[in-house]
Amino acid sequence: MVVVAHSSRELVKENASLRAPLSGAWLLAALAALLAALAAVAHIDHALPAPLGADAPPERFRGLVAHQLLVNLTSIGPRVAGSYENEVLAVSMLVSTIKHIAQHASPHNRIELDVHAGSGAFALSFMDGMSNVYRGVQSVVARVRGAGGRPRDRSALLLNCHFDTVPDSPGASDDGAGCAVLLETMRALAAQPRPLRHDAIFLFNGAEENILQASHAFITQHRWARDVRAFINIEACGAGGREVLFQAGPHDPWIIEVRPRHPVLARLAPCSRSALADVRERGAAPLRVVGGAGAVRERPHPRGH
């Protein structure tokens, strides 16, 4: 029944029963179920495949080898654009690694290497029209192509990362991990037992922290830029967890459809967060969103498909 207190008198409505509040046992059970669900989600989200070592088949992605490459790069220390560490030591490490990969590529594929230096300028519309001027910024560029009589000028997939860092960090996540992953990806692609159907261009740019100077130099000046039809950018957004596919398209779903079926490229970002791309496309998020060890952005190149 329902009891209503009014002027020290109780008014009782017949045929109505008072409902007891939820018992403490039910509350504890609901809380335990919620915590168990969160723990399960966290376990699944952080469950990573066991990394392969140097004894794995050459066409497979070897995670332990990529980790050693990351150690070699970060041992240089901070690599600020224009510094000796960035312009000499880091470039030398990348060039020597790529040359070693080329020497051990399968006979069906070959690697072309170029150290590109560019100068230029572009407007920074988001900084009240300021201009970003640069001179002599370096990038290490490698192109993996199938051997044979195919024409030299053909479409390519661009894979990008950067090896420069901010002044006070060795850049393990931003973006040394991206460089290590792309070096190992290059090795695995070059070791494939059949010629690649399309070329893969690997851009290790050395001036990203200065607001994308080296990438601007490549796309506006390098002879291979006109062959790019789509690109994958590996960048850091945090310092832990698995790689996350942060943004794709949004008007080219074929990139999403092809990536999971590729034995090597699928390893770049096995986890996806499509909602993040929707948030950013609507202008509700800044350029960088924290969320995991890295973010992979897939975009069609504006020059065509």
Instruction: Please tell me the least confidently modeled range out of 162-166, 189-193, 293-297.
Output: 293-297
CB 228, CB 201: distance < 8 Å: yes
The pLDDT, as a whole number, for residue 74 is: 96
**CA 135 to the chain's CA centroid:** 27
The pLDDT, as a whole number, for residue 125 is: 80
Residue positions annotated with a catalytic role: 208
Summarised one tens digit per residue, pLDDT across range 111-136 is: 999 999 999 999 888 777 789 999 99
Cα(228)–Cα(235) distance, integer angstroms: 19
Place of tokens 């044979």: 148
Residue 54 is given by DSSP the state T
| Residue with the larger pLDDT of the pair 275 and 55 | 55
- The string over 115-133, giving b where at least 16 C-beta atoms fall within 10 Å of a residue's C-beta and e elsewhere, is ebebeeeeeeeeeeeeeee
> Which ranges constitute the DSSP H helices of 191-266?
213-221, 254-258
Summarised one tens digit per residue, pLDDT across range 62-114 is: 999 999 999 999 999 999 999 999 999 999 999 999 999 999 999 999 999 99
Question: What is the arrangement of strands in the sheet containing 243-248, beginning at the earlier edge strand?
Answer: 109-124, 130-146, 199-205, 156-162, 228-235, 294-300, 243-248, 271-272
Instruction: Please tell me the least confidently modeled range out of 28-42, 110-124, 138-152, 291-305.
Output: 291-305
User: Would you list the domain boundaries of the chain?
Assistant: 71-300
**Confidence check: pLDDT of 205 > 70:** yes
**Confidence check: pLDDT of 218 > 50:** yes
Q: How confident is the model at residue 176 (pLDDT cuts 50, 70, 90)?
A: very high
CB 122, CB 131: distance < 8 Å: yes
Nearest to 171 by CA among 98, 81, 247, 264: 81
The pLDDT, as a whole number, for residue 126 is: 75
pTM, 2 dp: 0.77
Nearest to 291 by CA among 303, 273, 304: 273
Q: How far is CA 295 from CA 24, 175, 185, 239, 269, in A?
A: 43, 10, 16, 11, 8
* Cα dihedral across residues 188, 260, 243, 40: positive or negative: negative
The pLDDT, as a whole number, for residue 2 is: 44
Phi and psi (nearest 5°) for 161? -150, 180
Could you check whether the bond before residue 302 is cis, i.e. omega within 30 degrees of 0? no
Please check whether the domain covering 71-300 is classified as CATH 3.40.50.970.
no
Q: Is 35 left (phi over 0), alpha (psi -120 to 50) or beta?
A: alpha
Cα(39)–Cα(33) distance, integer angstroms: 10
The pLDDT, as a whole number, for residue 299 is: 45
